[in-house]
Amino acid sequence: MKQVVQNYKSGELAVLDVPVPGCKPGGVLVRSAFSLISTGTELMKVSEAGMSMLGKARSRPDQVAKVMQSVATNGVPATYRKVMGKLDSYTPLGYSLCGVVEQVGAGIDDVKVGDLVACAGNEHALHAELNWVPKNLYARVPDGLAPRHAAFGTVGSIALQGVRQGEPQLGEVALVIGLGLIGQLVVQLLAASGVRVVGADPDPARCELAARRGAAACGDPASAAVESAVAELTGGHGVDQVYLAAGGGSNQPVELAARLCRDRGRVVDIGKCRLDLPWNAYYEKELDVRFSRSYGPGRYDPGYELEGRDYPIGYVRWTERRNLACFLDLLARGSVDVEPLISHVADFDDAVETYQRLKDGELKAVAVLFKYPRRAEEAQAPAVAAPAVAVPAVNVKPTPARAARTPVRLAFVGAGNYATSMLLPHLVQREGVELSTVVTTTALSAANAQRKFGFAEATTDLDAVLGDKSIDAVFVVTRHSSHAELTRRALLAGKTVFVEKPLALTEDELAGVLEAVDESGNDRLQVGFNRRFAPLLREARQRFGTRTGPANLRYLVNAGRLQHGSWYLQQGTEGSRFAGEGGHFIDTASWLLEADPVSVYAVATSGNEDLQVVLRYPDGSTATISYVTSGPAGFPKETLDLVADGRALRLDDFVRASVYGQKRWVSSRLPKARDKGQNAELAAFIKAVRTGGPMPVPLQSLVATTAATLAVQTGLAGGAPVTLARAR
């Protein structure tokens, strides 16, 4: 299928061929009929992409701050790879469309195939021929409403949420500053609510359009016309509400709002304009400044948007989805008319030219729609099946031994930040490795990985990969909640598996993986515990020498706080932070102590964010892992000390290592980057796949580390040490 994309680094716009998204449970697959260009938000993004790197940095100081934080934590090289990887990737455009349901995922019963729906979301209602849309981001289109009008649903919801924040009442007077697409819709919604509206915009054509659609008066904000109209309509008191629907770097809108708003009036920011509030003006009138967050309650909440958890109507009357349905109803009843706002309808194949004309100013428009053709051959094609979860009850034996001289053919399931910054850059340079197929749930991420790393194929069909006998190994680099199931399926398919940590989030998941090993006879598994492969740590261990007595190990992990919205915070589905990351540190301790732990004791501060985990080993050695989130950003992330037999080993954040004994050894010079072992780990894995030799880490150790990680949560709940059964 085709999708409109942009490379943020180069500014390139393209209509790209990408895989068809799979229809996951909890949502529907929608074939687009019309999608709406947001001439404000999208053109701002397009313009930013055309800037120099310095210009991009100046326009997004929030992102610069994140980069500097990453430099402090991960170092310059790792941060550079991550940032450039993101910049030099295609990103999607679009967030408002109308289309026909083509396939219904499990758990959906409110729509059926063939229904017309309006869809929302900058990850789900894209300018693409097909989109997978979760339940709370679509709404059925009322009978009789034209699809081209229903495509305004998301943008209309943004305007509607802004109006709700202003709490207008019958007979009040409102000022709308900025009469672009959002401003025009705000004018109509206010007029439909019995509010008299004054519009302000320097474009006479937009003022005329707003006046035709219900504004009592409109004019250039720099002229006296707007101020005179406000004085006449309010008896000189000022407007009850001001809606900021303007963009740009001028501070004029907030200054005008203060001048024309009444005492204790309300100022609602809907757009993205400069907000240097003149303190005296806002203080003297005690103005109530409010922000309108996109489509409404539920926005940016993964539980609502992705998992389909609705808010009770008695507590949250107007959610994203209810706002969407409400706006569609207003359109169907004629209370809002979007047809006069449509300046241009372009064929989807002409998307790049259309954006360029808008950017250059050749196409003057309030609203532009893309119209999608329904090709005959696509209409006859079978629907794309959702990936099956059930595995046939058959014994699948491992694939036959491969010829040693043929390339090792790899498939990647998942192509997120870690895969594209820490794994694939090493593999793409490795001789004798062929990147065969990349599988993702979103079409564009697969296409990006294919373009950047040279995968032969990109798809959303996992079954096809597992059934491909030519693929030697499968990398599972997805979100934590899917690791165990995907690993289980790949083992049953006879593949050698590399799964990023964690292997499992529950004891039942771990048991399921081991059952797959028993059923298939395939134990070719590696978990991404890379620190034991770090060159600096391996050299330090060698110089420390053989240990005869018990050891004490202390491992301080300055994990830091997560950014708001990080999927790591979704503990209900993705597990705790320690469940996802702790295996790294337990595995490192066990490797240094050359044994698997026999018991785990864990204590936590309030909220279970800062942990102390004590591991006991068969020879009496102990390892204490301090996992903290409250440390300073500039402090090293990982420091480790091992003391035994009158000797000590110290590792400082994979930058410097030292060993103290009869002689002292200190690593000679600072490395160019923190090498945490990913390259060496991948080399060992590829060697095992190519030769059929032992896996780099025994299965017993992988299971023991995973069991110990899971025991931390059990110990926190019970408040007592947890004894570990010997791993298989």
Q: For residue 470, is pLDDT > 80?
A: yes
pLDDT in tens, 518-534: 999 999 999 999 999 99
Total count of residues recorded for the chain:
728
pLDDT attached to residue 86: 60
pLDDT attached to residue 244: 97
Q: For residue 397, is pLDDT > 60?
A: no
Look up residue 440 and give its two tokens. 């993702």
* 434 vs 608: CA distance, rounded Å: 43
> Which distant-in-sequence residues (6+ apart) come within 8 Å of 440 by Cβ?
19, 413, 414, 415, 446, 449, 458, 460
pLDDT attached to residue 388: 32
What letter does residue 123 receive in the DSSP assignment?
A: T
- The pLDDT-based confidence of 573 (bands split at 50, 70, 90) is confident
* 373 vs 441: CA distance, rounded Å: 24
If phi over 0 gives left and psi between -120 and 50 gives alpha, with beta otherwise, what is residue 575?
left
pLDDT attached to residue 65: 57
Q: For residue 64, is pLDDT > 60?
A: no
- First-to-last alpha carbon distance for the chain, in angstroms, is 47
pLDDT attached to residue 273: 85
pLDDT attached to residue 634: 82
Q: For residue 196, is pLDDT > 80?
A: yes
* 623 vs 615: CA distance, rounded Å: 5
Looking at per-residue pLDDT, the higher value among 62 and 333 belongs to: 333
Look up residue 447 and give its two tokens. 């296409």
Burial (CB < 10 A; 0-12, 13-18, 19+), residue 77, is: middle
Q: Could you tell me the CA-to-CA distances from 81 to 12, 76, 87, 425 in Å, in that order? A: 20, 9, 10, 9
* 642 vs 651: CA distance, rounded Å: 9
pLDDT attached to residue 403: 54
pLDDT attached to residue 49: 56
Look up residue 183 and give its two tokens. 């401003």
Look up residue 635 and give its two tokens. 């402090």
pLDDT in tens, 650-674: 999 999 999 999 899 999 777 777 8
pLDDT in tens, 314-343: 999 999 999 999 999 999 999 999 999 999
Cis peptide before 502 (omega within 30 of 0): yes
pLDDT in tens, 116-135: 999 999 999 999 999 999 99
Mean pLDDT of 421-441: 94
pLDDT attached to residue 574: 84
- The pLDDT-based confidence of 392 (bands split at 50, 70, 90) is very low
* 591 vs 559: CA distance, rounded Å: 21
pLDDT attached to residue 563: 72
Give the number of other Cβ atoms within 10 Å of residue 369's Cβ: 27
Q: What is the mean pLDDT of the chain?
A: 89
Q: Using alpha carbons, select from 95, 53, 245 the residue that is nearest to residue 160.
A: 245
* 394 vs 493: CA distance, rounded Å: 10
pLDDT attached to residue 654: 94
Place of tokens 């079978």: 382
* 320 vs 293: CA distance, rounded Å: 10
Q: For residue 389, is pLDDT > 60?
A: no
Q: Are 287 and 265 in contact (CB under 8 A)?
A: yes
pLDDT attached to residue 202: 96
Phi, psi at 535, each rounded to 5°? -55, -40
Give the number of other Cβ atoms within 10 Å of residue 302's Cβ: 17
Q: Are 221 and 256 in contact (CB under 8 A)?
A: yes
Phi, psi at 611, each rounded to 5°? -120, 150
Q: For residue 158, is pLDDT > 60?
A: yes
* R_g over Cα of the chain: 29
Look up residue 277 and give its two tokens. 């509030």
Q: Report the DSSP beta bridge partners of residue 267.
A: 242, 289
Look up residue 8 and give its two tokens. 């943020």
Look up residue 340 and give its two tokens. 């006069």
* 556 vs 192: CA distance, rounded Å: 61
Q: Report the DSSP beta bridge partners of residue 367.
A: 342
pLDDT attached to residue 112: 97
With H, G, I as helix, E, B as strand and everything else as coil, classify residue 692: coil
pLDDT in tens, 281-322: 999 999 999 999 999 999 999 899 999 999 999 999 999 999
pLDDT attached to residue 662: 87
Looking at per-residue pLDDT, the higher value among 574 and 237 belongs to: 237
Look up residue 442 and give its two tokens. 């979103």
The percentage of residues in the chain with a pLDDT greater than 70, rounded to a whole number, is 88
pLDDT attached to residue 406: 79
Phi, psi at 527, each rounded to 5°? -105, 145
Q: How would you list the strands of the sheet with 2-7, edge to edge?
A: 13-17, 2-7, 90-92
Looking at per-residue pLDDT, the higher value among 247 and 677 belongs to: 677
- Give the chain's count of helices (H) and strands (E): 26, 31
Please name the helix (run of DSSP H) or strand (run of DSSP E) that holds residue 198, with its range, or none: strand 196-200
Helices 61-74, 76-87: inter-axial angle, 10-degree rounding: 140
